[in-house]
Each structure stands twice: as C-alpha cells, then as structure tokens.
Structure 1
C-alpha cells in the first residue's frame, strides 16, 4: 500500500500542475531540517541523540510540507492519514510534527492552536509529553517556548500546543491550526462529536493540517473504518485513474489481503522499520504465541500486520479491476444483454450492458455501465470522487429529490436502438412499473431478478474470475471502478454468494446491474446461434 503513496506522488509531479498544485523542495527540506536539528530523543538507547527520520518518515514529511497551492503558496494537504503497525514510532513522529506546526511552519501562523486529540485527555497527553520532553532537551526550542504542565506556549506568535480529549473542559470554540488525532481506532460513536468539531473548526485557517496517526481497528472502530476506507481509496486512485481527493495525504502500511500473517517476508509491509528500530524478535514472539493460542491470531493480524480484524473483505482489488481498462469494442449492431437497478429514489441507479465475445476460446465481456443519482441527496456531489464522475459524464445527476425513471428508461430505449439487447434483468423492488412499461410499450424481453444469494452465486463467481483474467472489459470507467471497490460478498449457509457494500456512502448499484447482466449472458449462452458470441457454460 505504501508503494501506491509513492506512485501517487510521482504521478502528481507530472500531472498535478494542471490542477493548481506545485511541489516546493525548499519547504519540504526546511521541515525535515527543523526535525533533525531541533528535536532530540529522550528515551532508551537513543536518548540525547538527534531525531533522524527513517526513509518512510522522510517521505511523509516531504509530501505533507512540500506540496503547495500554486496560487497561494499554502499547503496542499489539509489532512494526513497514517495507518501503520505498532512500534513504528507514531507518538514521537506525531510530537515532532506538532512542534513543527507550532514554531516553524511556513508561513508561521499567528495565534496557532495545536492539539493532540484522543478519546481521553490522558491518552492525548502521551504525544504532548513526548513533545514537552523534546523541548526541554533542545536549547533552541527551550529558548523560544514556555513549557508548562499541560500546555506549551509560543509567546512570539501567541500560539500554544496542548492535549485534548472528549473529557476535557471546553471543547467548543476550537480554532485549530494543527491537530494530531492519536490512535483513531479507539474512537467510538460517542466520540463523533469531538471528531466533527476538530474537522470543521479550522475552516478559516490559511493552511491547517489535521494528521491522523493510528493502528488498524476492529469492527467496533466505526470512525476509524470510515476514515481508513476513504484514505485507502484516495491512495488507490493512482490505479483507477480517478482523482479521489487532492487535499488528503494517505500513507498506509499493512500486509496484503492474500498474505500469510505468519510469513516473515510480509511483516515489513506493515512496519517499514522492521529490523532497524523495530526488532524482528518481537514479531516472532507474537507469531509464536498466535500459533500456540488461536485467540492471539487477531492480535498478530491487527497490531503487527495492521489489518482490521473481523471485517468484510472487498471482493475486487483495484489492480485486478484495472486489468479490464482497455477500450470496449463498438456496441452498435452487436448482440448483448442488459440490466437495470433503480435503488431508492435518492440513492443511485444504474444500467449495465454486457456484450459477450469469444477470445482464444474463452468468453470475454465488453461492459458499458451508466449510473444516476439526484441533486437533492445526502451524497456530497461537490466533493471527490463524485464530482469527477459527474464531470466525466459517468454519473448523471437528475434534478430534484429523486432519480427520474423516465430518464433511465429513455437511456435503455436508446441503447436498445443501437444494439440487439436480447433480454433485460431488473431488481423488482423499485423498478416494477418501469419494467412493465418497457415490456408493454417497447417490446423489451424483461426478467425480474430475485435479490438472493442463490441467483447471484454463479454470476458473481464468474465475474470475479473474469476480472482476474482480464476478460471483463470496462474501458476504465472510473465511477464503475469506484463501485467495484465498494463491493463485498455476503454468504448464506450454503456458501452461495451475493453482493453487499462496505457501508456508508459507498455505492454498488453499477456492480449489481453488472452482475444481473452477466447472469443473463450465462443463462442465454445455450441459446446462442451466433458463433462469434457463443457463450460456453461456466
């Protein structure tokens, strides 16, 4: 995952200028020099030695402080998300970033409020205590800062740094310039109020930075899960081609989905400092405990491999989906199958067209999908990635507070005029009247598709295999790629598979329509008389 962060940076060096961003090596270097010249260790064998950043830490500082808005010169990234295994040095790193924002930001912020934030003030004070100890060890910092029990003040700019928890007095009226959100995995629903106050309190600052540093959570870590999923998609945008969020820097280190947590070669993916500042023996101890005690496996996966425990797994990884990015063949005059999923009025709707063809004795499918939503919705259409999908014409916005079935039906009729759509599947929950109209007035061959694992089992397994083989061609549609990344699998007692989404605002309607269209391909395969598009049974 951390390699994707590097790829994103390199890609942005070539392309982000067109979006109004520049990279300033001078700003990046001065941030690094402040940390390595002014901050000292105070614990263990490293006590009284300068803080020398590891290569991955250098990269994080390089990106956070080097990327700038071309017009204003202010920082590009208003948020940073770092999710990494334990013993990486998260507390120390958070402390030096907080001190940098307090006393050496460029430009220096007058009246800066810098906070270390956690569920409890005692937890937030851990980062603060590291910063306080480093100030007392540094003659340069000690000369400029007033160090007190619960606050570090910078009189020259009337600024301060202090810990803040949900149990702290006075969490209203915050105006943060810098925030360290510590161990977000421990935040629960009751902490959402503080979470939102922090995120919304810095709107008038010139270049605020809210930095989250955490280890992976579990199924109770709902706020972390939302932030982590968003950050993953942000860094994976380098694979899908969509610009997900230009204001979030994401650096995530964890083993891959198919990695064995007992494989020592995989551990460095979760902690790049393994074998340097982190002893391999500590990982081996945790792995040996997990071998002897099954209940310790989740601890190994979560704290040492940085993988969420007891979670739904995404069905399709972005690098797998990207295998189908090549252009689809012309659909005019071809024989294919369609499906539509209307969803709820203010949700998403989608139409999928699947055109099978034989390539080297195997079925490939050219896939054309269009999605709709409505203007008056809770979805943030003005933000990435939805704004980009709308701009590209991949997501159509219907005016008002509901999706126009008329518009969707007209698109189906238009497509049926261009190609021979032999049958259409649909979800009868919300599209029964539209289906009847298309059948009665336009002669569509319509099939109501039952939304159960029994009917989805074969098409979803077929779709996953075709995606892995690069035989599901979708032309690099970024809205569909986003929905593919939102897809998870639910299983019934017979191990029959069905589509499910990861939750929140992450839609899968385009993938549901795709699966129904693929099901039509499979069902009608025996009946095909066109050798070019004959579909073998799968």
Structure 2
C-alpha cells in the first residue's frame, strides 16, 4: 500500500519528509532539498528563443528583494508545442560593486556572458528593470506582472502609469505553496522548459522547501549567499499563469503529488 506513495516521494524531493513523518512515523527536519536537479537539467532546451514568443501571452514575476544584490525578472509563456508546458526566460540584475565584492566567483563570468545585467554603482538602478518591463510590454501580451511590494512600491506605481498590469503577490505560504508544488511537478514531467541558464539553475539548486503542519511548502535558502531570487520570481509569475480564468490549461497527464 505504501509502495506507490514511497515511489512518488523518492521522485519528488519536497515530499520525502512528508512521507517519512506521516507514513513511517519518523521525525525529520522541516527544511529539505527541493529540486531534482537531474529533472531540471532534462528540461533544458538550448534552442529556446525569446523572439519566437513575440505577440504571445506572457506572465512576469519580479523579485526585488535586495537593492544591493541580485534582482530577478522571469517571463512565463505557455509552450506552443508541448501540451500543458511552460517556457521560461530570466533577466538578472546586479550592482557593479557587488559583482567584485560579493565573493561569488561565478558573477564575473555570468556578467561577461551577458547572463547578468550589471548596473553602475553599489545599488541596483531600477530604471534598467523598468526599461526592460516597458520593452517586454511592447513585444508580448503581458497579462500580469506579479511583484512583492517590498522594495517595489515606487516601481510598480511608475509601471502602472505605463499601462502594465501590476499584481501584488506577497511572499506568503498561502500565495507560494500551490505554484511551488506545481513548478516542481512540471519539472518532473519535463514541462518547465528553460534555456539552460546557469544562473537560474544555480538558484534552483539553492532552494530548500520548508514544510509546515498543513503540507504547505515555502522556498528558503540555507545561507545568505545561496541566492534563490530567480526561483521566487518564477513562482510568482507561474502563480498568475495558473490562476483560474487564464487561458493556460495544464495537460491531462499533469499530476500534483499529494502525500
């Protein structure tokens, strides 16, 4: 009877602790590794091209958690060829001083390859992010820009004046648990298609899932240097894409694992 549940738990890292606690009567730490990185890597498609989505519906997640470190903007599209799948693209912003002072040896390389947008000085210049949002709104049918109001009040006001559909999504368990579980399930099914960006992959590997008594999960990091901003932005964008009333329908083989 437990075998099918155990098989699902072993496949879905965030479900392992829940399985052990409920069915094996084992106490475990509430924080556990979240993403199956082998499944994440299998979702990579190096041919993915943002230009092919011009005119398509788009949901954006925006995490501006820190002005002195990474900010993340994630674009989410319904994949045109895979039923119930999503294609995602990221932009990451970092102040120039942090690139060299942070101690992360990967930052300079990512800057050189264009994976990081570096703004002058020691704090992020939000005008660069605003310019990208306005550009995206001119190229894609932006349905929502999900943002955490912390650090983003003035930016959201300016973007609303530009006509962008800004939607406040506070980083709470209530808002994050379902889309985070959906994101994990999509990855396991090969339906969260990304371009193999090393920045987003690094952030995915840094996420630990905090499980509460009601089986809700929430993204956390074990150490301050383990950035997860891109995944937080992705969760927010995906939360709007799967909201009832949107045009995206998860495929018939989609399964949200509950143990």
Interval containing the TM-score (normalised by the shorter chain): 0.7 to 0.9
Structure 1 position 322 matched with structure 2 position 41 = yes
Secondary structure of the corresponding residue to residue 457 of structure 1: helix
SS of equivalent residue, structure 1 residue 313: strand
Partners of 1:320 and 1:345 in 2: how far apart? 32
Contact 1:380–1:386 (CA under 8 A) maintained in structure 2 = no
Deviation at 1:377, TM superposition (A): 3.0
Q: Provide structure 1 residue ranges, at least 5 long, that are not aligned to the other structure.
A: 1-256, 260-293, 299-308, 529-533
- Secondary structure (helix, strand or coil) at the match of 2:32 reads coil
Q: Secondary structure at the match of 1:417?
A: helix
Match of 2:16 in 1: none
Shift, 1:409, TM fit: 0.8
2:171 is equivalent to residue 451 of structure 1: yes
TM-score (norm 2): 0.80
CA gap 1:379/1:487 in 2 versus in 1, 3 angstroms: farther
Which of 205, 210, 213 aligns to 1:490? It is 210
Alignment of 1:155-234 (within 5 A): none
Which residue number corresponds to residue 132 of structure 2? 411
**1:381–1:387 CA contact under 8 A, matched in 2:** no
Query: Does structure 1 conserve the Cα–Cα contact (< 8 Å) formed by 2:61 and 2:237?
Result: yes
Supply the distance in 2 between the matched residues of 1:527 and 1:370 (Cα, whole angstroms): 24
Change (3 A) 1:453 1:311: closer
- Which of structures 1 and 2 has the bigger CA Rg? 1
Confirm whether residue 420 of structure 1 aligns to residue 153 of structure 2: no
Query: Any conservation in 2 of the 1:328–1:367 contact (CA below 8 Å)?
Result: no
Q: CA deviation at 1:388?
A: 2.1
Contact 2:147 2:166 in 1 (8 A): yes
Structure 1 counterpart of 2:220, from 500, 509, 518: 500
- Provide, for residues 172-200 of structure 1, a one-character-per-residue CA deviation record: whole Å limited to 9, x for no partner: xxxxxxxxxxxxxxxxxxxxxxxxxxxxx
> CA offset at residue 384 of structure 1?
2.8
Alpha-carbon distance, 1:420 to partner: 0.8
What is the CA–CA distance in structure 2 between the aligned matches of 1:387 and 1:316, rounded to whole Å?
A: 26
Q: Which moved more, 1:476-485 or 1:330-339?
A: 330-339
CA distance in 2, matches of 1:323, 1:389: 22
Considering only aligned residues, what root-mean-square deviation do their CA atoms show, in Å?
A: 2.6
- TM-superposed deviation, 1:536: 3.6
How many residues in Structure 1 have an aligned counterpart in Structure 2? 228
Residue of structure 2 aligned with 1:535, choices 246, 249, 254: 249
Distance 2:96 2:72 in 1: 16
